[in-house]
Amino acid sequence: MNPTTPSWEKIRADFPILDQQVHGTPLIYFDNAATSQKPRAVIDALRHYYERDNSNVHRGMHELSARATAGYEEARVKVARFLNAGSEKEIIFTRGATESINLVAQTWGNQFVRAGDVILVTEMEHHSNLVPWQLLAERTGATLRILPINDRHELALDRLGEFLTPDVKLFAFNQISNSLGTINPVAELCAAARKVGAVTLVDAAQSGGHLSIDVQTLGCDFLALSGHKMCGPTGIGALYGKLALLETMPPWQGGGEMIETVEYEKSTWKKPPYRFEAGTPDISGAIGLGVAIDYLESIGREAIFKHDAELTRYAHEKLVAIPGLRVLGPPLGTPRGAVLSFVFGDAHAHDVVTKANEHGIALRGGHHCTQPLMRKLGLTSSARASFYFYNTKAEIDRMIEMLTPSEVSPEASPAFSLPLGEIYEMVVSDHARRPRNFGELAGDSVVHVHGDNPSCGDTLDLHVQFGPDKVENVKFTGSGCTVCMTSASLMTLKLKGKPRAEAARLMHLFHDQVSAPADSETGSGPRELGDLNVLGGVRKFPQRVKCAMLAWRAFEQALQESGHERAEVSTEEPKGA
């Protein structure tokens, strides 16, 4: 541990990317749970490697190969030391936490999990620590069991005995939840698992760069680390595995580097860790990760955790004071990771995030790869601010200011619409709050189409009643961002009573209007589209075009299902235009 208090201001200056303006204001990067920024030392190490040392590892006899091999293997030693592993043989380089978990599911899982076994995960897992186990359960006939969370958004430890039974073969859980910020009691969970003979895997993607981790004290069998969330490059991560376990596991990918001898008919494998590293690895990535570890250790991991915790507490206090805003995860005062996900009245997370972006603030909105958790909480998405040691309280103040309802818009949740002007604000907030034709239709002539945007959680059910040659009625239900809801509401008004061919033509017009090049001038847009033209400005936000098009794509499908020719209703760009 570093005995002196680090100079956070000086440390921030180590991150060149932070010194820039976005939309005319200094960048505020609060998306650290997705990926952290990289200090100059890591960037320089990558440059140095490619300028001076680049070569393939292990096989070469020449100077550059020796340097590349030494750099790569030194990085393995650094990761082992960082986690207090018993030996560097317990560290396998992977592409990230996701690949680390998949490696265990594929090798250990295929070898040891059988029909009738139970794989235990928790309700707060990232898809990376859920889907590989679903696939393993499908392959083997094992059962996937889910440990619930309680009202405080912590694991329901009082029910652990009910779920962690002797038929549990593997218990996989995260150390810090990327959606809730909850810190799980890893040592306690591992001890409980040991008692029933279950192997443990800790997903340390969110904790690796924030907490001091000692795998021997924690007592876990496997631990997945993500390099890019702890100042390292993207594309590199590590799996820690107890050597005794790794030695029992077959390879998962075949190729160079992982073999001892190869004959045409069969081969033999190297010992761990090389058995699990087929092909040319990410050499520069591993070296960069090693430098990131040096960097974090030079600041001091306890100092980092304390500083992150202080920033998070500061932001948490201010966020919960905003009327209508609810922070997910353990209540204020409980230790948590540097992650604050929140919902804000009826504002959709994407609208919050788009507004933040206009203020130069990088937040994330969506389901954060925890769809089942969001569903459990009755949400489709949340906005998320996540911090790292280079962030400041002044940056948090700017975010709070952006989120605080102004005197002009004093409702509990301000209208988080795209910054496209007054008419847009009027129309969009009106339709998003009071969608027209909201409901269902029934009957033989009704076509029902379900549509969703999986990446943002918008869902919509469209009901279209077709007459012999026209759209008799259109209704919809669902939930989504302001753009999605406004577009659906206006669409139903526009299409009701229109001849089918005319409806298809309007669909084309609208598609062209929202997906034209961002800088193209279309004036006020085609007269026939009326109020729908306010959504034309969405073209400046390419990631939002799919929100505007969701209802229309559902309508396109309804037209097809009712027997209309696809060529007439396609919303794709005309070929060769």
Catalytic residues: 369
**Which tokens go with 97?**
């936490």
CA dihedral 432, 435, 436, 442 (to 10 degrees): 140
Q: Which of 182, 226, 381, 533 binds ligand PMP (CB under 6 A)?
A: 226
Taking the C-alpha atoms of residue 387 and residue 393, their distance in angstroms, rounded to an integer, is 10
Residue number, 239 or 304, with CB nearest to ligand PMP: 239
**Which tokens go with 117?**
């076994």
Give which of 300, 348, 344 is closest to 324, Cα–Cα. Answer: 344
Residue number, 236 or 547, with CB nearest to ligand PMP: 236
**Per rule CB under 6 A, is residue 536 in the interface with ligand PMP?**
no
Query: Residues in contact with ligand PMP, total (CB under 6 A)?
Result: 14
Residue ranges in 340-379 that form contacts with ligand PMP under rule CB under 6 A: 369
Residue number, 386 or 515, with CB nearest to ligand PMP: 386
Helices (H), 414-531: 422-433, 482-495, 500-515
**Per rule CB under 6 A, is residue 206 in the interface with ligand PMP?**
yes
Residue ranges in 117-176 that form contacts with ligand PMP under rule CB under 6 A: 126, 128-129, 174
Taking the C-alpha atoms of residue 275 and residue 280, their distance in angstroms, rounded to an integer, is 13
Residue ranges in 91-110 that form contacts with ligand PMP under rule CB under 6 A: 96-98
Q: Which of 109, 208, 233, 237 binds ligand PMP (CB under 6 A)?
A: 237
Taking the C-alpha atoms of residue 15 and residue 34, their distance in angstroms, rounded to an integer, is 17
**Which tokens go with 514?**
């929202």
Q: Which of 203, 277, 282, 351 binds ligand PMP (CB under 6 A)?
A: 203
Q: Which of 68, 205, 303, 325 binds ligand PMP (CB under 6 A)?
A: 205
**Which tokens go with 467?**
């007459």
Q: Is 98 helix (H, G, I), strand (E, B) or coil?
A: helix
Residue number, 34 or 509, with CB nearest to ligand PMP: 34
Taking the C-alpha atoms of residue 122 and residue 142, their distance in angstroms, rounded to an integer, is 16
Taking the C-alpha atoms of residue 121 and residue 201, their distance in angstroms, rounded to an integer, is 10
Instruction: Report yes or no: 568 and 381 within 8 Å, Cβ to Cβ.
Output: no
**Per rule CB under 6 A, is residue 178 in the interface with ligand PMP?**
yes
Least distance CB 101 / ligand PMP (angstroms): 7
Q: Residue 9 belongs to what H/E stretch? A: helix 8-12
Beta bridge partners of 361: 28
Least distance CB 47 / ligand PMP (angstroms): 23
Taking the C-alpha atoms of residue 104 and residue 109, their distance in angstroms, rounded to an integer, is 6
Give which of 196, 264, 203 is closest to 239, Cα–Cα. Answer: 203
Taking the C-alpha atoms of residue 471 and residue 491, their distance in angstroms, rounded to an integer, is 12
**Which tokens go with 428?**
């969009």
Buried b (16+ CB within 10 A) or exposed e, 129-167: bbbbbeebbeebebeebbbebeeebbbbeeebeebbeee
**Strand pairing class (458-466; 446-453):** antiparallel
Residue number, 240 or 510, with CB nearest to ligand PMP: 240
What one-character DSSP code corresponds to residue 198?
-
φ, ψ at 342 (rounded to 5°): -150, 155
523: left (phi over 0), alpha (psi -120 to 50) or beta: left
**Which tokens go with 152?**
């405080």
Least distance CB 246 / ligand PMP (angstroms): 20
Taking the C-alpha atoms of residue 116 and residue 314, their distance in angstroms, rounded to an integer, is 48
Taking the C-alpha atoms of residue 452 and residue 476, their distance in angstroms, rounded to an integer, is 13
Least distance CB 213 / ligand PMP (angstroms): 14
What one-character DSSP code corresponds to residue 522?
-
Instruction: Report yes or no: 139 and 112 within 8 Å, Cβ to Cβ.
Output: no
Least distance CB 120 / ligand PMP (angstroms): 17
Residue number, 91 or 369, with CB nearest to ligand PMP: 369
Instruction: Report yes or no: 160 and 193 within 8 Å, Cβ to Cβ.
Output: no
Instruction: Report yes or no: 179 and 370 within 8 Å, Cβ to Cβ.
Output: yes
Least distance CB 428 / ligand PMP (angstroms): 31
Give which of 384, 378, 379 is closest to 177, Cα–Cα. Answer: 384
Least distance CB 224 / ligand PMP (angstroms): 7
Least distance CB 229 / ligand PMP (angstroms): 7
Contacting range for ligand PMP; rule: CB under 6 A; set: 16-24, 73-81, 200-208, 259-267? 200-208
Q: Which residues bind ligand PMP (CB under 6 A)?
A: 96-98, 126, 128-129, 174, 178, 203, 205-206, 226, 237, 369
